[in-house]
Chains A and B, each alone.
Chain A
Amino acid sequence: MKCHGVRRLFGAYWDDETTQAEREHLEAHFQGCAACRNEYESFSRAMEMVAALPRYEAAPDLLERTLARARRSSPARDTLPARETPWVPVTAVAALLLVAAAFVSQWSTLASGPRAARTTAGLSARVGLASGTGPVASGATGEARFDANAPVASATDSLFDHSEDIEFVLDPVTLRRGQATVTQPHQGLHTERAVISF
């Protein structure tokens, strides 16, 4: 082993962590190499100087000061993860509720629209039946149209909600798969339309 290899072992030699073979080799090298011997002396002297440093004692009031600060410190947390406010789930649920509310609101508007229209139509039909004008007359043209200007106010005073009423519309209107079509009445034949509401 050359000088470089020997000097790399100084630390282990100082710590007494060399193998028996390494130690013997190192000591044999020191016998014949004054430079390495001096280097090791220098190294060991530095280590002794460090080891001889006086130990600093703790400040006399360290214990009291530490206890005082510990008393003021917040209570320790559990090692288990704390049950923190589940902001993320709460936010997600709130968002879902909002979406659901918006959907329901929209759905109810859509659902009530045709129903209202149907009711309005029914009412107008009834009104038309009573007055002998309106959709019945227009129905003769082959087109089912609702008169927006038909007087419906008179029918809205009912105490009952007729929105869910089932309407049976007799000839000339037939229902096919939910779509009302108006059949052409016979020429010259004055037909009447009856709407039965429950």
Chain B
Amino acid sequence: MAPDRDPVLPPILSLSDEDLMARVAEDEERAFGELVRRYQGRITNLVSRVLNDRECADDLAQEVFVRVFIHRRNYRRGSKLSTWLFTIAANLAKNEIRRRVRRRNWFSLDALQEALNDSAMIFADRREGTERALEREQLQKEVGRAIATIPEKYRVALVLRDIEGLAYEEIAEVMGLPGGTVRSRINRARTMLKKKLQPLRRKEGDS
């Protein structure tokens, strides 16, 4: 990779995604670093929420960017960079879900919840009361767990829409599906999620 470029070129930070990608295609390392910096949060969050597995999400997020780098010259100027990134991320996440299902060896969601609880406790806001923080964290874990139990084809659409906030048209592009199918999948996913979260609402009401 070429470490740097001519200093008269516009600074990397002010570049549009397209121009940034063009510089990545020219092997500019700083441009690639900026691309990772811009999208690492969104990609990590997307993959984490689809898999409900933070550790694996880090590896997959890294894989997304490495693939972008490897295929940097295949990027079509004019297409939205974020759509391309989300497409790669969604596909990798789906592959991971299918791999786990095939191998049937993925650890139980309960164990995952325990691990997440432990790590969440460490980072819990100390200003909040410990009990309340735990309740809040617990609720979030339950929601994450409920999302993870939705079938993959509905889950990915739900996460893209309701967590990443993508427009229906962009989700259709990311998933390579007609807009009507995407809407239908999101509606199904939301209905499923509502049913799964029903008990939590009751618990919430009790407290």
Contacts and interface: CB of A to CB of B under 8 A. Distances in A.
A162 to B, nearest CB: 68
Contacts, number: 107
A67 B194 contact: no
A90 interface: no
B48 A56 contact: yes
Contact of B41 (A8, A55, A66): A55
A77 interface: yes
Given A66-B65, A70-B69, A71-B1, A50 B36 contact: no
B44 A70 contact: no
B25 interface: yes
Interface in A58-110: 58-59, 62-63, 65-67, 69-71, 73-74, 76-79
Nearest to B193: A46
Most buried by B among A45, A58, A63: A58
Interface in A1-44: 8, 10-11, 14, 42-43
Given A62-B61, A62-B62, A50 B193 contact: yes
Given A62-B44, A63-B36, A11 B66 contact: no
Given A47-B162, A49-B197, A69-B66, A58 B40 contact: yes
A54 interface: yes
A70 B73 contact: no
B198 interface: yes
8 contacts: A10-B190, A11-B187, A46-B190, A47-B162, A55-B41, A58-B43, A69-B66, A70-B70
